[in-house]
Amino acid sequence: MKIISMDVMSTGVIVYYVLVASRNGLFTPIVSNVKNGAYADPVPQAVILTAIVIGFSIQALILVGVMKLARDNPTLESSEIEKNNTP
């Protein structure tokens, strides 16, 4: 549940930034017939794509760690797992 909630929070932040960055009347700087129009800034788009990729890789790394913990500890209680793995 902690992993899913972290993923939901990450997706919420990405959606918030996309919502803030989207504006009506902006044109794509690559494909447009407008010569002096308001163009969309590609930097926020690149940052959001990078955030999506980093979020996906972090989630995959956490899931690998959970798989290892699940193999070593046959319980779902995080307090029991912490107690078993504390030196």
CA dist 12 and 10 (Å) reads 5
Q: What pTM value is reported for the model?
A: 0.66
Give pLDDT tens digits for 1-42. 888 888 899 889 988 888 877 776 666 667 656 677 677 777
According to DSSP, residue 30 is labeled: S
Residue 61's pLDDT is 93
- Tokens 């919420």 locate to 12
Cβ-Cβ contacts under 8 Å for 45 (sequence gap 6 or more): 21
3-state secondary structure 31-76: CCCCCCCCECCHHHHHHHHHHHHHHHHHHHHHHHHHHHHHHHCCCC
Q: What tens digit of pLDDT does each residue of 44-87 get?
A: 888 889 999 999 999 999 999 888 888 888 887 878 878 877 87
Domain residues of the chain, as ranges?
2-85
